[in-house]
Structure 1
Amino acid sequence: MTRNTAKLGGSASNVVVAKVAHGLMMMTWKPTPVPDEEAFAAIKAGIDALPPGVKMILNSGEFYGQGFTTANLELIARFFEKYPAYTDRTFLSVKGGGVPLSLGVDGSRENLRRSVDDILKALRGTKRLDLFEPARRDSKYEIEHYAEVLNELVKEGKFDYIGLSEVGAETIRRAHKVMPVAAVEIEVSLQAYEQQTKDVIATCKELGIPVVAYSPLGRGLLTGQIKSRLDFEEGDFRRAFGRFQDDNINHNLKLVETLTAVANRKGITVAQLCIAWVGALGDHVIPVPGSSNIKRTLENLSAGDVELSADDLAEIAQLLETYPRKGARYVDGVAEDKLELWN
């Protein structure tokens, strides 16, 4: 089975990965975590579908667990303990640098080191930490500070490559001058495609840096299976997001309905259409949908082979203009909706 592929950037430019990556966050960051065997089967299926020499990006975070714990990393460790032969077939990207047990950020040298060490401790030596990225910007520190600390950690062998998360175009330009950026992670979807997003994608293309596009399915909205915020179990953080509030979701679902018609004509699912659209934004754009079951993993992965014509893209652009997202990416009124800039 052949798959489209992409390359990473910076000192990782020799690493070939699947065009569609695998996000693991919702395996553990919800009130009822996915059972190990179900999660393992979903991860394994995606890797097994790839040709030799192509790695699957597994996207995780230090805090991807209820109460901001290392539950996701512990799940990964258990997976590789059971399937050690898969370690070299994957590329593990982990966000960190937060305040333990909270969503706060702390860009100090001490906390960045603590974060990386805690990630390694949770992995228990089962898998190399391929890439580390600060999850959010700490406004007390400039990019040069981050570069100094992260470059030190790479030289010490803590991890191999440096990434950035939720940053703007000018930040990326500054970072590119002082450290080898292997990837930039931001949210990209038909529910998250503002001018700042377009600027990041264009800048990364110019600089030869891949964009790891998380939530290409709009936190589940673009699958067509979410009709109300109450469809998420009680305690799921997505219930609070602006785009899922009653007045907003009714508007946002109109886009899903029209996209479904386009997908039906092409003989694919609406989820595949949305993932393919993100991938069509550039050879350097790598969609990262999440999945906890085999069927969905393979469906998502096959979206990397879907080709959208110029007419398809024009039609989707018109739909996007007609039905722009209502409600915040996160919680209405929270500044985090804007990419943090180190300008």
Structure 2
Amino acid sequence: MTQTAGRRTLGSPGLEVSALGLGCMGMSQAYGAADRSESLATLHRALDTGTTFLDTADVYGSGHNEELVGEAIAGRRDEVQLATKFSLTHADGGMRIDGRPENVLACAEASLRRLGVDVIDLYYQHRVDPQVPIEDTVGAMAELVTAGKVRHLGLSEASAESLRRAAAVHPITALQSEWSLWTRDLETPGADGGPSVLEVARELGIGIVPFSPLGRGFLTGAIRSPEDFGADDFRRGHPRFTGDAFTANLRLVDAVRALAGEKGVAPGQLALAWVLAQGSDVVPIPGTKRRAYLDENTAALAVELSAADLARLAEIAPPGVAEGGRYVNASYSYGDSPTR
């Protein structure tokens, strides 16, 4: 019998979502070729099994991903908690950030059209624009809430300072940042010894939405060689998947696999269970474009970790354990956040 997703609440005032979300980016870019029919079938299966928190962005596939998600949820809008993002566009040599108020409004209208909906449940600024005061950006986002086009606001990969400044303008429901057994920067104290981004988010009542909770697929244990990636998979040249870093990170994965074997679960399920165990305010969004992997991920909800399991994982994967940078292109590590 297929595991069914439970429910968790993000932020205050809260947005109730499925305890595990679905990251949809890979259906349109980055992780090799996607099969449209299988992607749609995966989205439908997610809804059928209670994974109703869907995450997309206007930059994924330059709008293609929002259109795909919109097609999948047509006729089922009331079942879905729909999250999308704005502020990034593809540019020569990297990405461009635009947090200007006029861009906020224009992007929201375009996303609503592509998604085929009247309202977005959770609207994120994808990256903080260092050239635009965050108060101005969030102020424009708040206008969307007043207009009934957006229900809740979020930030992606924001610093502790940006969270505080944004929350002073309008309640922030969720922070989306990378968080997994091999990326634990969210927990790192500030450069001045102050609180971590995670601590500030919790102080402000902001829910946590970890992306790449499976270490971009590495923590599933299925990747054994850099040659496992297709020519169009961005991980082929990723700093963590090449050279000496790959070898070092593989040792981490093998340790996770060993513990997973003892518990009789898949390595990826153990890795997801660890993220889920970090708090009831945490809702990871593992990405997949295949039903089989969706089912495997959802089954992680049934994995129980003892205090001893968590202690072993803390030894296996302490903060800073992964070798290599987080992005292939340094231009992706932009904005104001020390977690990038």
For 1:218, which of 211, 215, 218 is the aligned residue? Answer: 215
| Residue 334 (structure 1) shift | 5.5
Distance 1:271 1:336 in 2: 26
Match of 1:5 in 2: 7
For 1:168, which of 159, 177, 194 is the aligned residue? Answer: 159
Q: Is the aligned partner of 1:37 residue 2:28?
A: no
Match of 1:78 in 2: 71
Distance 1:337 1:230, change over 3 A: farther
Asked whether the equivalents of residues 21 and 301 of structure 1 are also in contact (C-alpha less than 8 Å), the reply is no
Task: Give the counterpart letter for 1:79 in structure 2.
Answer: A
Partner SS for 1:99: strand
**TM-score, normalisation: structure 2:** 0.89
More moved, 134-143 vs 96-105:
96-105
Asked whether the equivalents of residues 31 and 235 of structure 2 are also in contact (C-alpha less than 8 Å), the reply is no
Distance 1:128 1:156, change over 3 A: closer
Asked whether the equivalents of residues 209 and 284 of structure 2 are also in contact (C-alpha less than 8 Å), the reply is yes
Task: Give the counterpart letter for 1:75 in structure 2.
Answer: L
Distance 1:197 1:142 in 2: 25
Per-residue CA distance 1:140-177 (angstroms, 9 max, x = gap) = 11221122111112212222211100012222122222
| Residue 72 (structure 1) shift | 0.4
| Residue 185 (structure 1) shift | 0.2
Match of 1:88 in 2: 78
Asked whether the equivalents of residues 33 and 232 of structure 2 are also in contact (C-alpha less than 8 Å), the reply is no
Equivalent positions of 1:1-343 (< 5 A) are: 3-11=5-13, 13=14, 15-30=15-30, 33-50=33-50, 56-65=52-61, 69-81=62-74, 84=75, 86-99=76-89, 103-125=95-117, 128-194=119-185, 196=187, 199-321=196-318, 324-331=321-328, 336=333, 340=337
Task: Give the counterpart letter for 2:88 in structure 1.
Answer: G
Give percent identity, aligned residues only.
34
Distance 1:242 1:312, change over 3 A: same
Partner SS for 1:160: strand
Task: Give the counterpart letter for 1:43 in structure 2.
Answer: L
Task: Give the counterpart letter for 1:7 in structure 2.
Answer: T
Partner SS for 2:29: coil
Distance 2:263 2:335 in 1: 34
Distance 1:30 1:328 in 2: 17
More moved, 197-206 vs 166-175:
197-206
Paired residues in the alignment total: 328
Q: CA RMSD of the aligned region, Å?
A: 2.3
| Residue 33 (structure 1) shift | 4.0
Asked whether the equivalents of residues 46 and 294 of structure 2 are also in contact (C-alpha less than 8 Å), the reply is yes
Partner SS for 2:153: strand
Distance 2:288 2:89 in 1: 27
Distance 2:133 2:311 in 1: 40
Partner SS for 2:328: coil
Distance 1:192 1:258 in 2: 16
Distance 1:332 1:251, change over 3 A: farther
Per-residue CA distance 1:8-51 (angstroms, 9 max, x = gap) = 2134x1x322211111110111475422321122122222223x
Asked whether the equivalents of residues 189 and 274 of structure 1 are also in contact (C-alpha less than 8 Å), the reply is yes
| Residue 221 (structure 1) shift | 0.9
Q: Tell me, which stretches of 5 or more residues in structure 2 are unaligned?
A: 190-195
Asked whether the equivalents of residues 188 and 214 of structure 1 are also in contact (C-alpha less than 8 Å), the reply is yes
Distance 2:71 2:268 in 1: 29
